[in-house]
Structure 1
Amino acid sequence: MRLIDQDEVRERLTYEVCIPIVRAAMIALSSGETRQHLRSIIPLAEGRMFGIMPGALGERAVFGAKLISIFPANFAQGKPSHQGVVILFDPETGAPVCVAHAGEVTAIRTAAASAVATDALARPEATHLAILGYGEQAQTHLRALRHVRPISHVTVWGRSPDRGGAFAARMAAETGLPVVAADDVQSAVAQADIICTVSGADEPILKGAWVRPGTHLNLVGSSRAGPAEVDDDLVAASRFIADSREGVLAQGAEFLRAKASGRVGDDHVVGEIGQVLSGAIPGRQSADQITAYKSLGHIVQDLASVQALMSRGA
């Protein structure tokens, strides 16, 4: 059995490699080529969770699962917030053939998926990125989105001004970009062309009234029904695209809250990002339209990423 550890994932699953892999995986998902169930999440104490995500890339293709724990407080201690394994099985023999570090795969492929969505939905001239949150996904999103848009300015907001400032300084040094910590969410997004919500907030932190026309949003921080990062107004005002429509209708917290309030119905989820990528449905329809990509994360992204690492490393 092949073991792919954290260091190997970090070294070889670059954004140049991962972005096209995720793009192809999401097209395959929306075309019905893949097989998967909704994720199962077990809540634990203090906001911690354990998740199980099974799937297959096709009827006779590689299959497997991700087993992952989510401990949000870890990042402040220098540890990954997502820890676990992705395991692949051989489609011909049924034997387990590969185990990979799920935390590092998740960190990279989630940001790569947002980059794919941003490339498909954001205005071509978008340059100002706002990031709400300063954890692991904040840094990976900044790294990934630079591959699809000419980012020239970044603002970041987080609940702790000290941590927000430290994040801004660290990422400015890494990227050479002006990365500025904002005092509040409204000022962080005031001039943004692209907004990534990666805060893990329980209640909405971003209001529709603060988002200017033409903005693209990647809604990432909530991966289950319950916690929501943006308000009903913003959901209702946006062209709302899912990674998986089935998943978002069942577990997409922002959409479910807006639906429960009577602001939107199921048809507000106009389709999946894979359908936009394949040309089956339009993405952005005007320069002034607000677009939103709801990312729950999907097992096909993990399986395709690890399969590529295994194949290319053989």
Structure 2
Amino acid sequence: MSVALKVFDARAVREALTVTDAIAVVRKAMIALSSGQVEQALRSFIPLGEEQTFALMPAALGGGEPFGAKLISVFADADHPGRKRHQGLVVLFDAETGAPVCVADAEEITRIRTAAASAAATDALARPEAARFAMLGLGAQARAHIEAIAQVRNIQTIRVWGRDYAAAQAFAREMDAAHGLTVQACRTAADAVKEADIVCTVTGASDPVLQGDWLAPGTHVNLVGSSGPAKAEADTTLVVRSRFIADHAGHVRAHGGEYLRALEAGVIDDTHIAAEIGAVFAGDAPGRTGPDEITVYKSLGHAVQDLAAAAWLYANAKEKENGH
């Protein structure tokens, strides 16, 4: 029996998948990934030109859950110089019949699930009393991260930094109005992270914009923006100083720019990855081990997160159709 293909455009994804829902979805997905329930291949890239890449990210959720892939293009954003867009599709197949059952906008899923994954990691790794938040980078991911992090900690102040100070000021005003929080633009990244409890980097930087010496003891950092081996948002000092938690160890060893630069410099060895975040979520590995420890969550993003989000959208839509 054929099954009608469900299609979720960006608006449909945005209206159906809340950050709160996504935090629970990606937490479960990362536990499944770290426990070996998921089949997932390393992402593959095809370079298409200057600042233009096509990527394929396949996975099977296991346990009778769907399988599929994210097909994504990473191109310069013509409307926002210096930024990139991740446009594409998440395609879902039924595990029983092999039929394609769902297609969803990948850019919107990526925006939501990336911030949700950072929020889940922050909830597990940041100090319970963390209230001062620093955001390095502007744009869609910065907006999503501010919304998501505020759901897991009682954020009192936010400092933001971008290469264009005027743009950072405009962004700060926008976030202040949207969330009712005290949001301040900073002229330097060092000023933004000074005395911060939580730091998120969501830039397109090829070389570090964050230095480990700037951070106070006890800070938690989400490294999110760099997703390839040739790029790094933070320096080797931060990697060395931190309890370094990977979203997935194999992927970080292949594509984690910050980790690879520190390894090449000889300042860490291959045991420096303390744990995977899924193992921390499951209670199989410790997260933060002391109040003064600097923790780092290295986020590369994974097909399992995208597929789990699409599967949630698909199941939620079917439940509504059935009157539940």
TM-score (norm 1): 0.97
Identify the residue that residue 149 of structure 2 maps to in structure 1.
145
C-alpha deviation, 1:135, in angstroms: 1.7
Cα distance in 1 for partners of 2:126, 2:175 equals: 22
- Following superposition of structure 1 onto structure 2, how do residues 42-121 of structure 1 map, counting pairs within 5 Å? 42-58=46-62, 60-74=64-78, 76=80, 81-121=85-125
Identify the residue that residue 293 of structure 1 maps to in structure 2.
297
C-alpha deviation, 1:80, in angstroms: 8.0
Q: Is the 8 A contact 1:35 1:59 kept in 2?
A: no
Number of equivalences: 313
Per the alignment, in what secondary structure is the counterpart of residue 266 of structure 1? Answer: coil
Identify the residue that residue 256 of structure 2 maps to in structure 1.
252
Structure 1 stretches (4+) deviating beyond 6 angstroms? none
Q: Is the 8 A contact 1:216 1:290 kept in 2?
A: yes
Structure 1's unaligned 5+ residue stretches are none
Cα distance in 1 for partners of 2:174, 2:310 equals: 29
Q: Is the 8 A contact 2:16 2:313 kept in 1?
A: yes
Q: Structure 1 pair 121/72, CA: closer, same or farther in 2 (3 Å)?
A: farther
Tell me whether 1:237 sits opposite 2:225 in the alignment: no
Cα distance in 1 for partners of 2:63, 2:280 equals: 24
* RMSD between aligned residues: 1.3
Q: Structure 1 pair 284/133, CA: closer, same or farther in 2 (3 Å)?
A: same
What residue identity is the alignment partner of 1:209?
D
Cα distance in 2 for partners of 1:32, 1:210 equals: 37
Q: Is the 8 A contact 1:73 1:81 kept in 2?
A: yes
C-alpha deviation, 1:44, in angstroms: 3.3
Q: Structure 1 pair 229/68, CA: closer, same or farther in 2 (3 Å)?
A: same
> Residues 229-275 of structure 1, C-alpha deviation per residue, up to 9 Å, x if partnerless?
00001001000000011100111000000000001111101110000
Cα distance in 2 for partners of 1:45, 1:143 equals: 34
Cα distance in 1 for partners of 2:112, 2:79 equals: 15
Identify the residue that residue 311 of structure 2 maps to in structure 1.
307
Q: Structure 1 pair 167/252, CA: closer, same or farther in 2 (3 Å)?
A: same
- Following superposition of structure 1 onto structure 2, how do residues 125-144 of structure 1 map, counting pairs within 5 Å? 125-144=129-148
Q: Which one of 269, 277, 290 corresponds to residue 265 of structure 1?
A: 269
Identify the residue that residue 195 of structure 1 maps to in structure 2.
199
Per the alignment, in what secondary structure is the counterpart of residue 73 of structure 2? Answer: strand
Q: Is the 8 A contact 1:75 1:81 kept in 2?
A: no
Fraction of identical pairs, as percent: 54
Per the alignment, in what secondary structure is the counterpart of residue 308 of structure 2? Answer: helix
Q: Structure 1 pair 137/187, CA: closer, same or farther in 2 (3 Å)?
A: same
C-alpha deviation, 1:31, in angstroms: 0.6
Q: Is the 8 A contact 1:75 1:136 kept in 2?
A: no
C-alpha deviation, 1:84, in angstroms: 0.4
C-alpha deviation, 1:71, in angstroms: 2.1
What residue identity is the alignment partner of 1:262?
G
| Stretch of structure 1 that moved more, 45-54 or 292-301 | 45-54
Structure 2's unaligned 5+ residue stretches are 319-324
Q: Is the 8 A contact 2:77 2:84 kept in 1?
A: no
What residue identity is the alignment partner of 1:250?
A
C-alpha deviation, 1:178, in angstroms: 1.1
C-alpha deviation, 1:19, in angstroms: 0.5
Per the alignment, in what secondary structure is the counterpart of residue 267 of structure 1? Answer: coil
Identify the residue that residue 31 of structure 2 maps to in structure 1.
27
Q: Is the 8 A contact 1:34 1:300 kept in 2?
A: yes
C-alpha deviation, 1:60, in angstroms: 3.4
> Residues 64-92 of structure 1, C-alpha deviation per residue, up to 9 Å, x if partnerless?
00001122424628x98111000000111
Per the alignment, in what secondary structure is the counterpart of residue 212 of structure 1? Answer: coil
- Following superposition of structure 1 onto structure 2, how do residues 135-214 of structure 1 map, counting pairs within 5 Å? 135-214=139-218
What residue identity is the alignment partner of 1:223?
S
Q: Is the 8 A contact 1:137 1:198 kept in 2?
A: yes
Cα distance in 2 for partners of 1:223, 1:41 equals: 12
Per the alignment, in what secondary structure is the counterpart of residue 77 of structure 2? Answer: helix
Q: Which one of 275, 280, 286 corresponds to residue 284 of structure 2?
A: 280
TM-score (norm 2): 0.94
Identify the residue that residue 322 of structure 2 maps to in structure 1.
none
Per the alignment, in what secondary structure is the counterpart of residue 44 of structure 1? Answer: strand
